[in-house]
Amino acid sequence: METGYCYSFPATRGMQAGKPFYIAMCPMRIIPRIFIFDGEEVPPQLRAQRKLNAQRVPEIAKYLIEKPTDYVLSALTASVDASINFDSIDPDGVNSNLGTLSIPMDARMLINDGQHRRAAIEDAIKENPDLGHDNVAVLFFIDEGLTRSQQMFVDLNMHQVRPDTSLVTLYNHTDQESVLATEVAKNCAPFEGLTDLESSSLSKKSNKLFTLSSIKHANRALLKKKRKDKLTELDIEATKDFWNQLAEILPFWKLVKEGKLAASSVREDNLFSHGIVIQAIATMGSHLLSQFPNEWRTYVKKLEDVDWSKSNPLWNGRSIVHGRMTKTTRANQLTVNALKLHLGIELSPEEHVLEDSFKNDN
């Protein structure tokens, strides 16, 4: 491109560490054209950011495509290796930091943070060109070389903390699984008042028995749903019915709710409130709902006789390995096997193979 031609953006100027930076509103349609991403062929020591994760890009693009009127996209951060011009609308007044940012078209603009969003924007616009008329905020810094760009990447990312899965579930009002998990946690008898809605792990002193994320995973196992599968009204009612039925059978939940037992002591001595066991109960429940649609409550009632204490040898090598709870797929299925056998339900051929292997190892 010829020197002298510029990209111009409405912008705000600010200062960080004694250096100017600019926040501009950029049309999304030009984002793929103006921002460079260091390709995978460039060695790590010569790049200013991590490799592009091919799995993240389609997820973000799909989000933009599916919610064209309801998405939220955070700002990109980029470095510019050219002389830029900021034309203030009020050079000597209170609005001196508002104006127009002009960047030469032949400038090299390198993304320090947001390369996955940039790639997703490019893919989303190909499918829905109307998205190109929307804007995304971009923080522009003056490029001070590769070393500074690499340090910027570290500084921008080192303090980021991924929000807890339970909290994401609680706040996600557009995902059916999350909405159902929250409704179950708040309104179904065994979970109401006993579910931590913010954390996916419980501290020793917690007065809760369950986590919202474990309920979400258990619901998925109960309904045999994959992520993003649509839930029907029948699915929702079946889920609530199943958990409420279980509340009538397992007394610990009610005793904790009534203050007759401490949640911490129940968690320490019993395993039924642990995520792996809740998921196993749900997996077993899925089989009951599909194979015994009119009799499943009768089978569930038999769970009254299960000894859920961690000292019960039944759980050794299944839910408990070397004295500790385990969350492996094998542990989950072996726990399901134990529950099925207790209820007098025939194991599937695959479950028989796993059970035989388990017995041979023990």
pLDDT score for 56: 85
pLDDT at residue 40 above 70?
Answer: no
Report which residue type is found at 141. F
Q: Of 26-35, 56-65, 98-107, 110-119, which range is least confident?
A: 110-119
pLDDT at residue 196 above 70?
Answer: yes
pLDDT at residue 53 above 80?
Answer: no
Q: How many CA atoms lie within 13 A of 202 on its CB side?
A: 24
Geometric angle at alpha carbon 265, from 261 and 268, rounded to 5°: 145
| Secondary structure of the chain as H, E, C letters | CCCCCEEEEEEEEEEECCEEEEEEEEEHHHHHHHEECCCCCCCHHHCCCCCCCCCHHHHHHHHHHHCCCCCCCCCEEEEECCCCEEEECCCCCCCCCEEEEEEECCCCEEEEECHHHHHHHHHHHHHCHHHHHCEEEEEEEECCCHHHHHHHHHHHHCCCCCCCHHHHHHHCCCCHHHHHHHHHHHHCCCCCCCEECCCCCCCCCCCCCEEHHHHHHHHHHHHCCCCCCCCCHHHHHHHHHHHHHHHCCCHHHHHHHCCCCCHHHHHHHECCCCHHHHHHHHHHHHHHHHHCCCCHHHHHHHHHHCCCECCCHHHECCCEECCEECCCHHHHHHHHHHHHHHHCCCCCHHHHHHHHHHHHHC
Q: Find out whether 315 and 331 touch, Cβ atoms under 8 Å.
A: no
Q: Of 46-50, 81-85, 89-93, 167-171, which range is least confident?
A: 46-50
Please report, for the chain, the start and end positions of each structural domain, with discontinuous segments joined by +.
Answer: 6-157, 165-361
pLDDT at residue 47 above 70?
Answer: no
Residue 124: other Cβ atoms inside 10 A: 26
User: Among residues of the chain, what percentage have pLDDT more than 90?
Assistant: 55
d(CA 296, CA 289): 6
pLDDT score for 226: 80
Q: What is the mean pLDDT of residues 196-212?
A: 91
pLDDT score for 75: 93
User: Among residues of the chain, what percentage have pLDDT more than 70?
Assistant: 90
